[in-house]
Amino acid sequence: MKYTKSFIKLSLLIAFTFITFSINSSEVLAEQTTGIIRGSVTDESGNPVSGASVQITHIPSGSKSSTSSGNSGAFYSRGLRLGGPFKVTVTKSGQSSVRNNIFTRLGSESSLSFSLGSNSVEEIVVTAKASDFSGLGVGPGSTFNAEDISTLPSL
């Protein structure tokens, strides 16, 4: 009988302790003070892209956070400033995709999807012609040759 009362008291103490820690741990999670951005990266066929570089830039402060996509194409970045705007850039093998004006909120995650297309290259041709500026006469000027310069006094 003596052992039964002690066992019941010990069981109640353990149950009370477990309930107390369970309640307190949810309160700790509720005190999140930073933002989270998560997302996925796929190719133009919808297949996951692993190893893509993800750079998250907080525009007002210029602070940056970098991560990369995993085997499933997913990425996750936490500890970001609340608010925004953020610029998120995903790059892999010369291909990139950018999202602007991303905002983080307290207690929620910003979820993004990126698709990296084919690596198409656009050719740009620049044509230029030299101009003759000698006739502009922009003001007084002088011309010196090597003999003039060698005869000038130096300091």
Does residue 84 form part of some domain? yes
End-to-end CA distance of the chain: 110
43 and 100 assigned to the same domain: yes
Does residue 148 form part of some domain? no
Does residue 71 form part of some domain? yes
Q: How does pLDDT run across 110-139, given as a tens digit for each residue?
A: 889 998 875 555 566 777 676 666 666 566
What is the average pLDDT across 130-154? 72
Is the distance from CB of 116 to CB of 39 less than 8 angstroms?
A: no
7 and 59 assigned to the same domain: no
Note the pTM of the prediction, 2 decimals: 0.56
DSSP 8-state secondary structure symbol assigned to residue 81: P
Nearest-angstrom CA–CA distance, 94 and 98: 13
108 and 84 assigned to the same domain: yes
Instruction: Quote the tokens at residue 62.
Output: 């210029």
What is the average pLDDT across 140-147? 77
Structure-token match 């007084």, residue found: 140
Does residue 74 form part of some domain? yes
Nearest-angstrom CA–CA distance, 83 and 109: 12
What is the average pLDDT across 4-31? 61
Is the distance from CB of 102 to CB of 111 less than 8 angstroms?
A: no
Is the distance from CB of 86 to CB of 105 less than 8 angstroms?
A: no
- Backbone φ and ψ for 61, nearest 5 degrees, come out as -100, -20
Does residue 42 form part of some domain? yes
Q: How does pLDDT run across 24-79, given as a tens digit for each residue?
A: 444 455 566 788 999 999 988 889 999 999 999 999 998 999 999 999 999 999 88
Q: Which residues contact 46 (CB under 8 A, 6 or more apart)?
A: none
Does residue 55 form part of some domain? yes
Nearest-angstrom CA–CA distance, 83 and 80: 9
Here the CATH number for the domain that contains residue 41 is: 2.60.40.1120
Q: How does pLDDT run across 70-102, given as a tens digit for each residue?
A: 999 999 998 888 888 999 999 998 888 899 999
50 and 1 assigned to the same domain: no
58 and 11 assigned to the same domain: no
Does residue 85 form part of some domain? yes
What is the pLDDT, as a whole number, of residue 67? 92
15 and 46 assigned to the same domain: no
75 and 105 assigned to the same domain: yes
DSSP 8-state secondary structure symbol assigned to residue 119: -
Domain that holds residue 20: 1-31
What is the pLDDT, as a whole number, of residue 26? 46
